[in-house]
Structure formats: structure tokens, C-alpha cells
Chain A
Amino acid sequence: MEEKVRELIARTLKKEPGDILLTTNIDDLAEDSIALFTLISAFEKEFAVETEYKELINIETVGDIVLYLENILKR
């Protein structure tokens, strides 16, 4: 999961995968709100999930995304 998340972030935001660590803050990767929204939409399509937008307040790092996706895919 961790590797897929990092690859998707790199592809969507045009970043070097090596710059994306579990501790990296998403706000440091996404240039602005459009980039952030595009990233959320990419995750929804890739993992066939629907994001609970109100839960985004708890997501700050790449690691938080991995945990969020693991949890949502278990439901």
C-alpha cells in the first residue's frame, strides 16, 4: 500500500518518488487546493473508494493517507 500511495502521489503531483516519505506533509507536496483536490480524486479512482471529506482534517502526512486507505478498504 505504501508504495502504491507514493507512486500515485508522485504521478499526480509530478514529484520525485524519492521525495515522498511517510512523514512528508501533504500540504508540502500539493501546490494548492486544486492540486490537493486532484490528488484526492486520483485516490478515489485508483482505490475505488469514496472519501469522507470531513475526515480529511485528520490527514496531514503521506503516512496518514496510507492508514486512512487501509482502514477504509477494510470497511
Chain B
Amino acid sequence: MYFWNQPLSPQEVHQNLSQDEYATYEDLVEQKRADWLAGRMAAKRVIGDEVYRRAGRIVSCCDVEIVSGQKERPTFRLLASSGTLIPEDYSLTLSHTGGQAVAALSLISDSGFVGIDIERERACSRDFSRDFLTEREFRSYIETERLSPLSLWCYKEAFLKAIGTGLRVHPRTIELTVSDEGELVRIEKDGLEVSFRAEKIAFPGVPFGAIVYLSIPLKSHNL
């Protein structure tokens, strides 16, 4: 997992992005650029770390290209040291908020598919909580004030990223059971239990976050 929270100068932006990435960056609206860039940098670093771990080679950020459509799982391409990692063997996930980002990489055969989400502190209305939580979740965690809605949102969004759908699946189709310590202990998708591993994460200025590993692809659960 790699957390990125440093702004880059225009020259550094140019140096760290591939040509295609730079073209994408230039096309972004101004208010999206810092988050997008932070996400790319975190992902490039986490992949660079894996190349070093596996092959002992150092790759610079501009030699790692993050590839993602708006609604697809992100993946990567190595523009140098290609062959040291096979992108199809890995699950890559990233999340950004307020110009900060985190990325995680999982070797699918070892740890399964991974999803991550981080959220900055913000006010959440009860309507928002009612909209994304099931009735039981709302009664158990929000009415009792046991958990912040943002903690629950992070678990749900991280899980949706791990299954590869993101918000193309309604968060209410997932039901979470969370311990008194705030640890996720059970996930049900459409009423069926899912095998997973999850952790709460937090970084300076980013108090809410979760990473979820799905040990078996969701279709193997017959969901």
C-alpha cells in the first residue's frame, strides 16, 4: 500500500507521467487534477515497489503507466522493465480525496482481488446514511452512533472496487456486520456470505479508510 500526499510542480508532473497520461491530465478539469495526479503517483509507487521486490530493478514513475477507463478496474503497463510483472496477475486499486491518494496492489493468486477507499472528514446527513445503508445497518450503527457513516461507506466502496463494479452495484445490496471495535467481520452480498479479509486504514488528514481483499472472485460465490 502506498500513500501519496505531495503536490508536484508542473515540471515534476511532466517528468512523472507518460505521454498518454500527461495528455489525460491536461484534459482534466482543474479541480480534478490534484486528486487524479495523487492517485497516479500512489499507484506508480506501489507498482515500482513490487518491481523492486520481485526483480530487484528500479523503475521510475514515468515508466509505469496506469491504465483505466472511467468505470473499469485500473491496471498498469510497464514502459521499461516490461516482463518483470505481468499486469494480468495483479489487482490494482486506488482512492483519492482532497489531493491525497492511496494505492494497493495484490498478486491475485496470493491475496485475491483488492479494493481500497479513503475519505476525508465531512458532514454526512442522515438521509445519505439511509440511502446507502440497509435498514439493519442504519439501526445498528447510525441510530446508536456506534460508527461513523464514513467508516461504513469506506468498507462498502472498497468491497465494490474489489468485486470490480464500483458504484454500478447499489451499496445497499451489501450488508456489513462490524464489531464494536469497528472491524468488519461479515459481508453479505444479496443475502449470501462472502469470503474476504479487511482492514481499517487511516493517514494524516484522512481519518477514514478501508482495504478489502476478496479471496475468491465473486462469481465463485455464485452471486
List residues of A whose CB falls within 8 A of some B CB. 27-28, 31-34, 36-38, 40-41, 51, 53-54, 56-57, 60
Contact = CB atoms under 8 A, between A and B. Distances in A.
Interface string B19-63: 000000000010110010000000000000000000000000000
Contacts of B127: 41
A34 B157 CA distance: 10
Contacts of B217: none
Contacts of B132: 37
A28 B27 CA distance: 11
| Interface residues of B, dominant DSSP | helix
Contact of B97 (A28, A32, A51): A32
A36 B167 contact: yes
Contacts of B29: 28
B139 interface: no
Contacts of A40: 167
Interface stretch (B3-11, B86-94, B168-176, B183-191): B168-176
B166 interface: yes
B164 to A, nearest CB: 12
B146 to A, nearest CB: 20
Nearest to A26: B70
A56 B168 contact: yes
B166 A41 contact: no
Given A34-B119, A38-B128, A53 B153 contact: no
Given A27-B70, A34-B119, A41 B131 contact: yes
Contacts of B170: 51, 53
B71 interface: yes
Interface of B: 29, 31-32, 35, 70-71, 96-97, 117, 119, 122, 127-128, 131-132, 153, 157, 165-171
Interface centre among A27, A36, A41, A53 (most CB of B within 10 A): A53
B131 A54 contact: no
B167 A33 contact: yes
B165 to A, nearest CB: 8
A12 to B, nearest CB: 11
B70 A33 contact: no
Nearest to A60: B70
Nearest to B161: A33
Nearest to B169: A53
Contacts of A53: 167-170
A60 B70 CA distance: 9
Nearest to B166: A33
Given A27-B70, A28-B29, A34-B119, A56 B167 contact: yes
A37 B169 contact: no
Interface centre among A27, A34, A51 (most CB of B within 10 A): A34
Nearest to A36: B167
